[in-house]
A = this chain, B = another copy of it.
Amino acid sequence: METGVQAVANKAEMQGIAEGWRRAGHSVGLVPTMGSLHEGHLSLVRRARAQCERVAVSVFVNPLQFGPAEDFDAYPRDEERDLMLLRKEGVDVAYLPAVGEMYPPGATTRVRVHSLDEKLEGAHRPGHFEGVATIVTKLFNAARPNRAYFGQKDAQQVALIARMTRDLDMDVEVVVLPTVRDPDGVALSSRNAYLTEDERRAARSLVGALRVANEAFGEGERDATRLRRRMVDVLAAEPLVRPDYVEVVDPATFDSPGTLAVLAARVGRTRLIDNHPLGQPL
């Protein structure tokens, strides 16, 4: 089904549209993205389209969640292609605010999910989750969704947003969909575009490590240290890969022990993350 998608750059306009939807009794789904859409994003869009009468997709590369040495400037952007894909999916509104619309001078308000935002990804990317929590709060306030859709790929982000939504009494159901992978198992990520051919091959070791842990778990292994050791060994065998962290954690608190295997690694100059809920098919 190909229909028009309304591109909205202004938050007041987005709020007006959302308020109209709610008044008309329509359920609203929001899919927050940083654009550069791939099948992972589109799986979220399709679920939103199936579950909600109105669907908004935000496309905003959020400077607040990038560190000073990170890839904000280089992050892939292709608004025209994104809009074409959203049109094909029958999305009602694409919300594409400019940075100045989101963060005007003097905007000093920030949302933090303490403790959870300091672990693993938070420890390696200081300020990242404050940026995530702040922008998601703003997107929720602009689009007023009944349901918001996120990928399990960003497991800690998902835990953080679920916690924030509950803590701040946001009346939004957080829907989490499984990671979408390429045929070689590599998790879809906009950052995969940075990889050379050799690095791409090396990147398979991330899902390889998760598979090894998942198999061990399937055979009854429950010791987090031994599960972790197995994953570390897989990554260590790949010279182009330098792990940031490898852990088995509780999926809500990100404390060990737990049943969620999570890892982050540099592959060449590109930083990738992946995870798997142990015991589920991979």
Residues of A within 8 A of B (CB): 11, 15, 19, 22-23, 25, 106-116, 133-134, 137-138, 141-142, 144, 163-164, 166-171, 253
Our pick among B110, B141, B166, B168 for the contact of A169 (Cβ within 8 Å) is: B141
Whether B114 and A111, one on each chain, are in contact in the complex, defined by CB atoms closer than 8 angstroms, is: no
Whether B114 and A112, one on each chain, are in contact in the complex, defined by CB atoms closer than 8 angstroms, is: no
Q: How far is the CA of A86 from the CA of B261 in the complex (A)?
A: 53
Whether B114 and A141, one on each chain, are in contact in the complex, defined by CB atoms closer than 8 angstroms, is: no
**Interfacial chain B residues near A166, Cβ < 8 Å:** 107
Whether A168 and B137, one on each chain, are in contact in the complex, defined by CB atoms closer than 8 angstroms, is: yes
Q: How far is the CA of A11 from the CA of B171 in the complex (A)?
A: 10
Our pick among B22, B107, B116, B141 for the contact of A170 (Cβ within 8 Å) is: B141
Q: How far is the CA of A19 from the CA of B112 in the complex (A)?
A: 27
Whether A169 and B111, one on each chain, are in contact in the complex, defined by CB atoms closer than 8 angstroms, is: no
Q: Other than A11-B169, A109-B111, A111-B111, give 14 A-B pairs with Cβ distance below 8 A.
A: A19-B171, A23-B25, A107-B167, A108-B113, A108-B114, A109-B112, A109-B163, A109-B164, A110-B112, A110-B114, A111-B168, A137-B168, A138-B168, A141-B171
Whether B167 and A108, one on each chain, are in contact in the complex, defined by CB atoms closer than 8 angstroms, is: yes
Q: How far is the CA of A109 from the CA of B162 in the complex (A)?
A: 11
**Interfacial chain B residues near A141, Cβ < 8 Å:** 168-171
**Interfacial chain B residues near A23, Cβ < 8 Å:** 22-23, 25
**Interfacial chain B residues near A144, Cβ < 8 Å:** 171
Q: Assuming A19-B171, A137-B168, A168-B137, is B108 touching A115 (CB within 8 A)?
A: yes
Measured CB to CB, the closest approach of chain B to A126, in angstroms, equals 15
Q: Which 9 A-B pairs have the closest CB atoms?
A: A109-B167, A108-B114, A141-B169, A107-B167, A138-B169, A15-B171, A109-B113, A109-B164, A108-B115
**Nearest neighbor of A114 in chain B, beta-carbon distance:** B108
**Interfacial chain B residues near A168, Cβ < 8 Å:** 109, 111, 134, 137-138, 141
**Nearest neighbor of A134 in chain B, beta-carbon distance:** B168
A-B contact pairs, 7 of them (CB 8 A): A19-B22, A23-B25, A108-B115, A109-B111, A109-B112, A138-B169, A141-B168
Q: How far is the CA of A154 from the CA of B81 in the complex (A)?
A: 50
**Interfacial chain B residues near A142, Cβ < 8 Å:** 169
Q: How far is the CA of A107 from the CA of B114 in the complex (A)?
A: 9
Measured CB to CB, the closest approach of chain B to A18, in angstroms, equals 9
Q: How far is the CA of A205 from the CA of B138 in the complex (A)?
A: 43
Measured CB to CB, the closest approach of chain B to A254, in angstroms, equals 12
Q: How far is the CA of A134 from the CA of B162 in the complex (A)?
A: 17
Measured CB to CB, the closest approach of chain B to A147, in angstroms, equals 14
